[in-house]
Every structure is written in C-alpha cells, then in structure tokens.
C-alpha cells in the first residue's frame, strides 16, 4: 500500500508539473512606448561647472510629457508656462541617444530607461556635443533623473492647481 500511495503522489505531482501553465515571457517593451507618459524630476545635477540647478520649487512642479510620434510637452515652470517640442530616440546606439528639439534648437543627449525611472544626460547651447557618459559639468551638461508620474499623482497635481 505504501508503494501504491507513494506512486500515486509521484504521479499526481508529475501530472501537476506537466499540466501547470508555462509562465509567459515578458514582452520586450520598446523604448518608444515605455517613455510615453508624464515624468517628474527626481534629481538634477549640473555639476560644479554647469549653469546651475533651477530652484527646487520649480523642479518639483515641472512635468515632462512624452507623447506618441515624438511629441514632447514640458510644463509647470514659473507661472505654469509650458513649452512644446519633439524628441528622437535611438535605442540601438551605445549608449542610447536622445535629441530634444524645441524652437529650432536641438539638445543632444544619452538616456537610460528602466521601468519608472528615466535618466537623461544632455548638453545644451550652441555647438552642443552629445555626452558619452552620465556625468554632469563641462560645457552646459546636466544629468537629470525622472520618475514616472502615476495616475493617482496626476490627480493630486490637478487638485493643487
């Protein structure tokens, strides 16, 4: 009887393993899709040689909204004014590159996108050169880390205005 019971348990376990659903692989989300949404600034590093960080109150209010088809909206600055622009990603580059375009000017940069964290290093100004590492300073090069704004935070933002 013991052998039969043990055999039955082993059989049931084996059937359970065979019949258990196979976990689905995570889909690779393209950066073009993953970046879409509203982002708030978590940290801003201009290094010792950069133009300096804007006031914390201003950074806390700012939102970068990445939309489909390379559209970008930056809002929440002083007086609530915003600015529209465009962005271009090259996720195949090493490191990944991004260009932020507004008013006919392009700020070349590099980026990392990991879930709800978006890290950007960019240069601005005339003759800006794309950074090759995430390091602030030099000629107007900043490193900005963003966190995704969740739905409940979006509602809170609307209440505060």
Whole-model pTM: value is: 0.72
Are 100 and 122 in contact by the 8 Å Cβ rule? The answer is yes
How do the domains of the chain map onto residue ranges? 31-160
| 3-state SS record for 69-118 | HHEEEEECCHHHCCEEEEEEEECCCCCCEEEEEECCEEEEEEEEEECCEE
Q: Average pLDDT, stretch 60-70?
A: 93
Question: Phi then psi for 27, rounded to 5 degrees?
Answer: -70, 140
Which residue, 137, 116, 129, is CA-closest to 51?
A: 137
**Whether pLDDT at 23 is above 50:** no
pLDDT tens digits, residue range 143-156? 999 999 986 454 54
Considering Cα of 132, then 88, then 107, then 112, what sign does the dihedral take?
negative
**Whether pLDDT at 31 is above 60:** yes
Which percentage of the chain shows pLDDT scores above 90? Answer: 50
Topology classification of domain 31-160: Lipocalin (2.40.128)
Could you tell me which residue, 157 or 88, shows the higher pLDDT?
A: 88
């Amino acid at each position: 009887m013991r052998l039969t019971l043990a055999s039955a348990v082993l059989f049931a376990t084996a059937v359970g393993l065979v019949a258990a659903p196979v976990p689905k692989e995570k889909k690779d989300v393209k950066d073009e899709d993953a970046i879409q949404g509203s982002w708030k600034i978590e940290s801003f590093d201009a290094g010792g040689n950069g133009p300096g960080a804007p006031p914390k109150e201003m950074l806390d209010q700012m939102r970068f909204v990445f939309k489909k088809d390379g559209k970008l909206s930056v809002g929440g600055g002083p007086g609530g004014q915003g600015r529209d622009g465009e962005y271009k990603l090259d996720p195949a580059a090493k490191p990944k590159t991004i260009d932020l375009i507004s008013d006919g000017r392009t700020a070349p940069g590099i980026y990392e996108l990991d879930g709800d964290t978006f890290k950007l290093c960019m240069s601005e100004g005339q003759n800006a050169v794309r950074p090759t590492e995430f390091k602030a300073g030099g000629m107007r090069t900043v490193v900005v880390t963003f966190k995704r704004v969740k739905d409940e935070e979006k509602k809170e933002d609307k209440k505060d205005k």
